[in-house]
Structure 1
Amino acid sequence: MDFVQHNIWLIVLAVFSGFMLIFPSLRGKISGTSEVDTTGAVQLINHENAIVLDVREANEFSSGHIADAKHIPVGQLANSLKPLEKYKDQAIVVNCRSGARSSTACGVLRKNGFTKVYNLKGGILAWQQAGLPTVK
């Protein structure tokens, strides 16, 4: 008990750090967003003709993106759903840099009636680390 009393801030910091590590995966489970890894995303693109939606900012998108990806920054998504309406029942793989913004975008899409929405786990960074191609 003496240890706890003398090191309470270290314990609080350790608990907080642990929570921050697991929060991204909990957030996806709570929101009902399905995550897909790079292999799953490639399968969705090749076998289910999935649409890729990149929700990064314009400068990030222009530095390299998945081929044929549609680009709508996450901040503009709620007001820019019209071009995506025809894909409501089609698989959509949403990506950003690391997976956080795309998780938010998946929530927006689901809220607006899109049924097959997948968040690319790890984002474009995971895509590039897997050695998959990007285009500029």
Structure 2
Amino acid sequence: MDFFLQPINLGLMAIALISGALLVRQVVQPGGKSVSPQVAIALTDKEGGVLVDVREEHEVAVEHIQGSQFIPLKELPGQIAKLEKYRKKPVVVVCAAGQRSAAACRLLNKAGFEHVSQIEGGIQAWEKAGLPLKRGKAPAKA
């Protein structure tokens, strides 16, 4: 019992509890469902959905998916109205690797979008799948 009362051990237990709570939060509050790049193409092309890139402008300027809407994550709360016509259609979100797209999916779900998903592995997975990327100038913001 003395083990639990030592200050250093109390600190370590607190860190463990906080870490566990953060992990549970990620599981309980996931982003949208994860889809492969190929499924993302099907959702946007065949079902009239939209692909939204939530990376920063300097990242998108290096490479981006042709035809994607560019709305940086930090600007998304104020730009949701620009996606209004996709409220009942598939919205596929992409970022570099999945962190920001998960946050964007949560935001869109809370705003009432019905079919939100994210590309599993982000733009890196898109490139790894051998799918085309446009390089150079960033597209205009949505």
Question: Could you tell me the TM-score, scaled by structure 1's length?
Answer: 0.76
5+ unaligned residues in a row in structure 1: which ranges? 1-11
SS in structure 2 of the partner of residue 98 of structure 1: coil
5+ unaligned residues in a row in structure 2: which ranges? 1-11, 136-142
SS in structure 2 of the partner of residue 119 of structure 1: strand
Seq. identity, %: 36
Count of residue correspondences: 116
1:27 and 2:26 matched? yes
Residue of structure 1 equivalent to 2:106: 107
Q: Write the mapping of 1:5-84 to structure 2, written as runs, cut at 5 A.
A: 27=26, 30-31=29-30, 33-84=32-83
In structure 2, relative to structure 1, the CA distance for the partners of 1:87 and 1:127 (3 Å cut) is: same
In structure 2, relative to structure 1, the CA distance for the partners of 1:47 and 1:105 (3 Å cut) is: same
> 2:31 touches 2:118 (CA, 8 Å); kept in 1?
no
Taking the aligned partners of 1:47 and 1:121, their CA distance within structure 2 comes to: 19
Question: Could you tell me the TM-score, scaled by structure 2's length?
Answer: 0.73
Taking the aligned partners of 1:90 and 1:107, their CA distance within structure 2 comes to: 16
Following TM superposition, the consecutive aligned residue runs of length 4 or more in structure 1 with deviations greater than 6 angstroms are none
Aligned-pair distance for 1:55? 0.0
Higher mean alpha-carbon deviation, 90-99 vs 31-40, is at 31-40
Aligned-pair distance for 1:30? 3.5
Q: Write the mapping of 1:79-98 to structure 2, written as runs, cut at 5 A.
A: 79-98=78-97
Determine which structure has greater relative contact order: mean sequence separation of CA pairs < 8 Å that are 6+ residues apart, divided by chain length: 2
Taking the aligned partners of 1:53 and 1:44, their CA distance within structure 2 comes to: 12
Taking the aligned partners of 2:111 and 2:81, their CA distance within structure 1 comes to: 11
> 2:31 touches 2:117 (CA, 8 Å); kept in 1?
no
Q: Cα RMSD (Å) of the superposition?
A: 2.2
Taking the aligned partners of 1:66 and 1:57, their CA distance within structure 2 comes to: 14
Aligned-pair distance for 1:43? 1.8
